[in-house]
């Protein structure tokens, strides 16, 4: 019987999903994940003081988690990502909404092909959060920001409090009982700044001053069925594709049925289940 890998190895080099893996989930990310991000992304941009007419750079932008709200606020936007398929989705939405002054360029977050001191605000949401050399990527974000400009980084808080993760792991364990879940020593790169104090230190070490980390916002995901939660998780990160790659179709169906039951139990009345995740929003000034 094929199974989920019971004990995933967590060496950071092996853990980094290549651009092709992100290309492969770009459609799912754009359809299922991105729409739910606009609220807290807009709020983070406001906290960073982004104004109409300012230049905004989005690093590891995906289909435009921060860039689309920034463009809607009237900023002049450049979205960068190493996945061309993600940026194609961004470009399509820019055309669809008729947003002015919003462009995209394929680029690795560790080596931005951009001049020094160029942007009023540089941001990354769930992007630089997960890169393997985060200090280097943060230094790059600071380098391309104008003196007096702001850098904003949005990352998940403690994995212990991320409810979609616990639902998904529990459903996998119901089908593959020896699946150990998310490793914690070391945890996946996704959680390298889940401690607000670590995020504050990294932003400061990258050369920013007056750094604050706001922990007041959560991501609130709404699901009515197990299939919706499955689609969201599979669209959100290539790790989910890897974790479920060896499941048979029958096992996948069972996982979705287990998720259905968990969602029914959580939801009240006829409304959807709301699963929350803590967010760390770090902001510093150059
Ligand atoms: C979880 S998604 C976040 C997308 C978007 N920022 C958002 O708010 O939804 C992570 C994104 O980081 C990109 N990414 C990962 N490593 C990267 C790197 N080294 N350079 C540039 N982009 C990278 C992926 O291609 C993907 O689009």
From the alpha carbon of 126, which atom of ligand 1 is closest?
3
From the alpha carbon of 16, which atom of ligand 1 is closest?
16
pTM of the model: 0.94
Mean pLDDT of 67-94: 98
- Residue having the nearest C-alpha atom to atom 6 of ligand 1: 61
Instruction: Check residue 269 and give its pLDDT.
Output: 72
From the alpha carbon of 19, which atom of ligand 1 is closest?
25
Is the pLDDT assigned to residue 262 strictly greater than 80? yes
Residues having CB closer than 6 A to ligand 1 are 22, 34, 37, 60-62, 65-66, 81-83, 86, 108-110, 125-127, 131, 237
- Cα(267)–Cα(264) distance, integer angstroms: 5
How far, in Å, from the CA of 59 to the mean position of ligand 1?
7
Q: Which two tokens stand for residue 23?
A: 């290309």
Name the CATH superfamily housing domain 12-285.
Vaccinia Virus protein VP39 (3.40.50.150)
pLDDT tens-place string over residues 116-161: 999 999 999 999 999 999 999 999 999 999 999 999 999 999 999 9
How far, in Å, from the CA of 177 to the mean position of ligand 1?
32
* Chain mean position to CA 14: 19
Containing 266, the helix (H) or strand (E) segment is helix 249-266
From the alpha carbon of 58, which atom of ligand 1 is closest?
6
How far, in Å, from the CA of 79 to the mean position of ligand 1?
11
- Residue having the nearest C-alpha atom to atom 16 of ligand 1: 131
Neighbours of 212 (CB within 10 A): 13
Is the pLDDT assigned to residue 11 strictly greater than 50? no
- Cα(44)–Cα(216) distance, integer angstroms: 11
How far, in Å, from the CA of 227 to the mean position of ligand 1?
24
How far, in Å, from the CA of 67 to the mean position of ligand 1?
12
């Amino acid at each position: 019987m094929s199974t989920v890998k019971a004990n995933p190895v967590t060496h950071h080099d092996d853990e980094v999903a290549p651009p092709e893996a992100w290309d492969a989930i770009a459609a799912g990310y754009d359809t299922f994940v991105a729409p739910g991000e606009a609220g807290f992304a807009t709020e983070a941009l406001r906290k960073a003081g982004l104004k109409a007419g300012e230049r905004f750079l989005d690093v590891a932008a995906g289909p435009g988690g921060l860039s689309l709200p920034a463009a809607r606020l009237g900023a002049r936007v450049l979205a960068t990502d190493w996945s061309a398929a993600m940026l194609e989705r961004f470009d399509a939405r820019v055309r669809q909404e008729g947003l002015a002054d919003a462009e995209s360029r394929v680029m690795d977050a560790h080596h931005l092909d951009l001049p020094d001191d160029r942007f009023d605000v540089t941001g990354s949401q769930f992007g630089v959060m997960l890169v393997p050399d985060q200090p280097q990527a943060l230094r790059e974000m600071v380098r391309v920001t104008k003196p007096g400009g702001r850098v904003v980084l949005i990352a998940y808080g403690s994995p212990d409090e991320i409810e979609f993760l616990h639902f998904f792991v529990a459903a996998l364990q119901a089908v593959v009982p020896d699946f150990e879940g998310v490793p914690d020593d070391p945890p996946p790169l996704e959680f390298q700044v889940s401690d607000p104090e670590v995020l504050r230190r990294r932003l400061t070490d990258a050369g920013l001053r007056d750094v604050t980390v706001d922990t007041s916002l959560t991501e609130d995901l709404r699901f009515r069925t197990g299939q919706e939660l499955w689609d969201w998780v599979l669209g959100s990160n290539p790790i989910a594709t890897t974790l479920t790659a060896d499941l048979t179709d029958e096992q996948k169906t069972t996982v979705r049925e287990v998720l259905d039951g968990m969602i029914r139990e959580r939801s009240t009345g006829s409304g959807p289940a709301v699963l929350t995740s803590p967010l760390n929003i770090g902001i510093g000034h150059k």
